[in-house]
């Protein structure tokens, strides 16, 4: 590994939580392609024994591959980062986006909740609301089911994508075709004014299309890293989004282009 940024060492080597250390390790391995235990220990200020335990944990979550003396990334260019890795990225921004979306949803609405880490944060807020929600991921279904609340849970059929937990397939599409929602909260892997909404997985793209078709209003949930990026599975034009809620890292030019195309963009 040649490009680890040791400038983080002094800042982070004391008082770092396990979650923060895991995020830093995951980012270092992803950015550099591989890293040794010694390099990661120097980067984080943790002992090599601690780093080995961290790498075992992250490997079990599918975030990286454990190799002799260190770890290497599992990602090839153009592949979707693992859910376990994305769940630790831009957490504050995703929570602000979730709060912005929750504020747009009125009590009594029926809501379709897409898969993905940002939509999962929306689910944490909606489970405390008097709404009817049909989540499209195992993670969100578990979230609504673990603590009874005022929200009404509707569970679709379908087959979960390995590791990702997103529900896809004929049974999911049939569930969407049978229902109509006030609002669909849709995530995406990429969003541009020119190329529209895109996803990494063709089956996931098909579910998003069906979800959009089943709703009177579509709210997009995407942190700034998704804007200006295009994945290969096409979902539809950006104009399908009535409103997009994103964060302040979104490229200003892309935001302007989306607004010109008719999408209301709320930056939080």
Mean pLDDT estimate for the chain: 89
pTM over 0.85: no
Contact 103, 126 (CB under 8 A): no
Band (8; pLDDT cuts 50, 70, 90): very low
| Cβ contacts of 237 within 8 Å, gap of 6 or more | 196, 197, 261
- The pLDDT-based confidence of 11 (bands split at 50, 70, 90) is very low
pLDDT-based confidence at residue 86 (cuts at 50, 70, 90): low
Confidence grade of residue 33 (pLDDT, cut at 50, 70, 90):
confident
Long-range contacts of residues 74-80, Cβ cutoff 8 Å, at least 24 apart: 75/30, 78/200, 78/231, 78/232, 79/200, 80/164, 80/189, 80/200, 80/201, 80/231
Q: Which domains does the chain have, with CATH numbers?
A: 8-74 (1.10.10.10), 86-267 (3.40.50.1360)
What pLDDT, in 10s, does the model give residues 127-157? 999 999 999 999 999 999 887 789 999 999 9
Question: How is residue 229 written in tokens?
Answer: 């990026």
Q: DSSP of the chain, one letter per residue?
A: -----TTHHHHHSSS--HHHHHHHHHHHHHHHSEEEHHHHHHHH---HHHHHHHHHHHHHTTSEEEETTEEEE-PPTTPPPPHHHHTTSSHHHHHHHHHHHHHHSPTT-EEEE-SSHHHHHHHHHHTTSS-EEEESBHHHHHHHHHS--SSEE-----EEPTTT-BEESHHHHHHHHT--EEEEEEE-SEEETTTEEEES-HHHHHHHHHHHHTEEEEEEE--GGGBT---SEEEE-GGG-SEEEE-TTS-HHHHHHHHHTT-EEEE-
Place of tokens 């075709």: 177
pLDDT band at 75 (very low <50, low <70, confident <90, very high): low
pLDDT at 147: 77
CA distances from 239 to 190, 195, 258, 262 (A): 14, 11, 8, 6
pLDDT at 12: 44
Q: Count Cβ atoms within 10 A of the Cβ of residue 241 and give its class: 0-12 exposed, 13-18 middle, 19 or more buried.
A: buried
Separation of alpha carbons 64 and 45, rounded Å: 20
Task: State the pLDDT confidence band at 34, using cuts at 50, 70 and 90.
Answer: confident
| In the predicted structure, residue 74 carries a pLDDT above the cut 80 | no
Q: Encode pLDDT of 221-261 as tens digits.
A: 999 989 988 888 999 999 999 999 999 999 999 999 999 99
Give me the percent of the chain exceeding a pLDDT of 90. 69
Band (pLDDT 50/70/90 cuts) for residue 214 is very high
């Amino acid at each position: 590994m040649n490009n680890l940024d040791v400038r983080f060492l002094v800042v982070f080597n004391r008082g770092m939580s396990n979650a923060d250390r895991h995020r830093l390790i995951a980012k270092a391995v992803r950015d550099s392609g591989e890293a040794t235990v010694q390099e990661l220990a120097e980067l984080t200020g943790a002992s090599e024994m601690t780093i080995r335990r961290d790498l075992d944990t992250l490997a079990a979550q599918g975030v990286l591959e454990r190799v002799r003396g260190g770890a290497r990334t599992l990602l090839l260019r153009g592949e979707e980062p693992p859910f376990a890795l994305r769940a630790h990225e831009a957490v504050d921004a995703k929570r602000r986006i979730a709060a912005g979306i929750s504020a747009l949803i009125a009590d009594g609405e029926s809501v379709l909740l897409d898969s993905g880490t940002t939509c999962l944060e929306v689910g944490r807020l909606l489970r405390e609301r008097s709404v009817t929600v049909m989540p499209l991921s195992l993670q969100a279904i578990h979230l609504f089911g673990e603590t009874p609340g005022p929200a009404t849970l509707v569970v679709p059929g379908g087959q979960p994508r390995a590791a990702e937990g997103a529900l896809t397939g004929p049974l999911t599409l049939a569930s969407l075709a049978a229902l109509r929602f006030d609002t669909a909260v849709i995530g995406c892997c990429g969003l541009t004014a020119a190329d529209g909404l895109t996803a990494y997985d063709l089956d996931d793209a098909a579910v998003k299309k069906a979800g959009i078709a089943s709703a009177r209003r579509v709210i997009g949930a995407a942190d700034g890293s998704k804007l200006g990026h295009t994945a290969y599975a096409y979902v539809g034009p950006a104009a399908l989004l009535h409103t997009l809620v994103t964060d302040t890292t979104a490229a200003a030019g892309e935001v302007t282009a989306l607004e010109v195309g008719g999408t209301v963009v709320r930056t939080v």
